[in-house]
Structure 1
């Protein structure tokens, strides 16, 4: 049970909530179903397809090893062989199952991802970076100075030592030194759990996580229209032809002269 929960029914209520000083410097994740816990694609796959718990570490390491060996065919620039975090970020970018969870520093981007395909109440999860780790002092972004006792995934060897074992009940947040185009476009960051057998919302201190439930039926139409006006679409969040093509889905719901849902013309226009 999440201690801190907020229910949002209107766009005005949403903007008022996320612009409050309370959420300054928080990170956000939108999910299309409010009942979903925060689980990585890797965690869901291992669980859903009944991979034996004793094999998880070996299988996760195997994916990274295979990707390193074969992806050079498609990459113009290879990361440092020992920088597992950057390799994982590339894997995540191209759809491989990893323990990385996509978050964003923008509550509006998170709102888009929550509402875009939602057909029931959806959710935005907000996390407070300084409260995620058991460490009292640590970096939260790879561009900052690395402390001597740092165990974040951006430290060489840290991923293999502290994350692959699936024994440490902590969560880190940050980005690799070299960010890809999608991370930049989405104001993205990664939340990285030390365990795969528990959702992130169970690993985080209760004061450092908030669940914002969006009442889709009441909110979606207005919110998606406002996000569209802000140029938050798949075309801008996923730069390239694939993003442009994906963005056409919402174009089915919008038109400059009339409302495609109600067929009511906007003021000054008429439908032929």
Structure 2
């Protein structure tokens, strides 16, 4: 077997590409030929890549196996979801259930990625605070990041890794049911005993509206008891870094101009999260793009109405009678 890297922090340090120019940031994916790749934006370049289930277990100091927390959340959601959601996934479609759980914000082992570099960049820039307290940083200042992984390489490497680990049953089950629509397929692929660390590209057959809007895709770890980074690092060889896995890093001081350009390009929370929630959450981003508001909206405080606004003129009482008196009778 070819040598693997010790962990993803080693991968991150090797893959890091610092870009200090706004135009170069936007053109990074095209300039580097990263087509057919998956991307993930993070507001802090130093953060590890973790699943929401992993973060939840750490935050709550969960001492039992993570799979027990996963099944507890899954079963509880299944029993209550019919009160709020229709239609529901089939009982056997574990991946669609997990995608729906993530859609509403509960923890799962699925890690959110996107096929769109611009979407990942938007999320990295929007959550990055350019006024973070200054500290001594390896790069000299705080930075945000966008991870990039070659999707086809990951598929091939994961299946090859499984065969070499004696887990041909996992590879065969995945190839036979790519969207994991059968309950036993999920058990074979993602809850194998003994567990094998790996990561597979995964999505549900029926996409929800956010996955469509965000061009979303998930990376799913094969060993839920290990950190996501351990699962991914099991697949990565030193020569893969920079070729199949990369990490764009940019200073947080560029987050605002990046966000402004994203907004002008039609990328906002309103488009990323269709519906009232996304629209309302996007209103705060108007501060980054005041040109979309009319001068009367910007200059008129509440209670001081301007001509042309819905409250700009107040009709007088009984207008029809005034007109009749003014014309007289014929």
Q: What range describes the TM-score normalised by the shorter chain of this pair? A: 0.7 to 0.9
1:163 is matched with which residue? 190
Alpha-carbon separation, structure 2, partners of 1:29 and 1:177: 21
Structure 1 window deviating more from structure 2 (106-115 vs 14-23): it is 14-23
Matched, 1:199 2:228: yes
Structure-to-structure mapping, 1:1-272, within 5 angstroms = 1-2=10-11, 3-20=14-31, 22-52=33-63, 54-119=64-129, 120-132=142-154, 133-136=157-160, 148-150=172-174, 154-156=180-182, 157-164=184-191, 167-196=195-224, 197-200=226-229, 201-206=232-237, 207=240, 208-217=244-253, 219-256=254-291
TM-score, normalised to structure 2, is 0.69
- The 1:246–1:257 alpha-carbon spacing in structure 2 relative to 1, beyond 3 Å, is closer
Contact 2:260–2:288 (CA under 8 A) maintained in structure 1: no
Alpha-carbon separation, structure 1, partners of 2:32 and 2:19: 17
CA RMSD of aligned residues (A): 2.4
Deviation at 1:148, TM superposition (A): 4.7
Deviation at 1:137, TM superposition (A): 11
Contact 1:124–1:212 (CA under 8 A) maintained in structure 2: yes
Which blocks of at least 5 consecutive residues in structure 1 are unaligned? 139-146, 259-272
- The 1:257–1:174 alpha-carbon spacing in structure 2 relative to 1, beyond 3 Å, is closer
Which blocks of at least 5 consecutive residues in structure 2 are unaligned? 1-9, 130-141, 163-170, 294-330
- The 1:211–1:117 alpha-carbon spacing in structure 2 relative to 1, beyond 3 Å, is same
2:7 is matched with which residue? none
Q: Number of matched residues?
A: 248
More helix by share: 2
Alpha-carbon separation, structure 1, partners of 2:113 and 2:158: 20
Contact 2:179–2:205 (CA under 8 A) maintained in structure 1: no
Deviation at 1:35, TM superposition (A): 0.7
Report Cα offsets for 1:12-70 as digits up to 9, x if no partner: 11233211353110000001111111101101111232212x43212211211111111
Which structure is larger by alpha-carbon Rg, 1 or 2? 2
Alpha-carbon separation, structure 2, partners of 1:153 and 1:257: 41
